[in-house]
């Protein structure tokens, strides 16, 4: 027979064990989110000029800042679309850029680390690993000069399911993914400025959907094509794809590609389209990397 006091230990322990487990998952996931080396501080001066604003707006529109953070950069609550992750919020960028220094913004954009030192979960920082310093400076200038819109965004948080996935199944945050982006293949001095510029555009615009090597990706039931397919397009057909989201065969409903082209790529200059077309046209002659997670399938 249990002693009078001992009999109360059973329900107490029964309640404490799951609470302790939940706390352990929370603490371990927090440790993993913060277990990233911070890069050297980005100490470039941010000019407040018309020229920097224009260049920064071009980067923001072609790289999708408005697509995720709102037409007025007011921020967006993506929770209804990103179910199961918790509260997924793209912040008010105009306000964020005023409230944080350039080094903090650079860590988020190119390294996937937020202002508190935690790895970001939904910001596609891997897409901007190779964003040039001058373009990043201009982008920050644009964000700081952009009018700040009023918002009522909720606080973001991760669900226990998301934290468990990180602890038990090794789900990676953005800061972990950034380092998996392969090195650039071209050099302006060796391969010419046209191909180098085209690769820069592709590696800071297209890898979010087409794999870190541009050779296609598989995510659940979704498959995106190897961008070597561009070699089958004429320059005019490729221009139409970029401006209108219409394929070589006349398909105007390419799901996300059509939407992205009409929202982002339509803002590319003719010279940028030329460069991108030239570089992607070299992909068929390059080997397709194997054993990469973005083509592993379900």
Task: Tell me whether the CATH fold assigned to 50-178 matches the one assigned to 183-295.
Answer: yes
DSSP state of 101: -
- Candidates 2.40.160.40, 2.60.40.10, 3.30.70.1290, 1.10.760.10; correct CATH number of 183-295? 1.10.760.10
Q: What is the pLDDT of residue 5?
A: 52
CB 242 within 8 A of CB 265: yes
What is the structure's pLDDT at 297? 65
Confidence category of residue 67, pLDDT binned at 50, 70, 90: very high
17 CB neighbour count, 10 Å cutoff: 10
Cα separation of 110 and 126, whole Å? Answer: 7
Domain spans of the chain?
A: 50-178, 183-295
Domain 50-178 belongs in CATH node 1.10.760: yes
pLDDT at 255: 86
pLDDT at 228 over 90: yes
pLDDT (mean) for 68-85: 86
**What is the pLDDT at residue 45?**
96
Distance in angstroms (rounded) separating the CA atoms of residues 256 and 268? 18
How does pLDDT run across 119-130, given as a tens digit for each residue? 888 899 999 999
pTM of the model: 0.88
What average pLDDT is seen over the chain?
A: 89
Average pLDDT, integer, range 280-293: 95
SS3 of 89, please? strand
Q: What is the mean predicted confidence (pLDDT) over 164-184? A: 83
């Amino acid at each position: 027979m249990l002693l009078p006091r001992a009999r109360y230990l059973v329900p107490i322990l029964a309640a404490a064990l799951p609470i302790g487990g939940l706390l352990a998952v929370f603490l371990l996931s927090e440790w993993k989110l913060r277990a990233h080396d911070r890069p050297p501080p980005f100490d470039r001066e941010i000019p407040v000029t018309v020229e920097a604003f224009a260049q920064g707006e071009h980067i923001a529109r072609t790289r999708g800042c408005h697509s995720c953070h709102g037409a007025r950069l007011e921020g967006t609550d993506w929770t209804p679309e990103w179910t199961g992750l918790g509260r997924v919020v793209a912040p008010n960028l105009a306000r964020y850029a005023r409230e944080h220094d350039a080094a903090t913004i650079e860590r988020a954009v190119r390294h996937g680390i937020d202002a508190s030192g935690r790895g970001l979960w939904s910001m596609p920082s891997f897409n901007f690993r190779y964003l040039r310093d001058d373009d990043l400076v201009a982008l920050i200038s644009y964000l700081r000069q952009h009018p700040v819109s009023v918002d009522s965004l909720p606080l973001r948080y991760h669900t226990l399911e998301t934290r468990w996935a990180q602890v038990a199944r090794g789900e990676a945050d953005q800061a972990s993914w950034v380092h998996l982006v392969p090195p650039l293949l071209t050099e302006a001095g060796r391969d010419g400025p046209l191909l180098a510029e085209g690769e820069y555009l592709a590696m800071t615009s297209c890898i979010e959907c087409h794999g870190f090597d541009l050779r296609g990706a598989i995510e659940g039931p979704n498959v995106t094509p190897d961008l070597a397919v561009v070699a089958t397009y004429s320059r005019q057909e490729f221009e139409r794809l970029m401006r209108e989201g219409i394929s070589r065969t006349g398909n105007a409903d390419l799901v996300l590609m059509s939407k992205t082209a009409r929202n982002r790529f339509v803002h590319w200059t003719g010279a940028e389209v030329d460069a991108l077309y030239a570089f992607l046209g070299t992909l068929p002659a390059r080997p397709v990397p194997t054993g990469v997670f973005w083509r592993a399938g379900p």
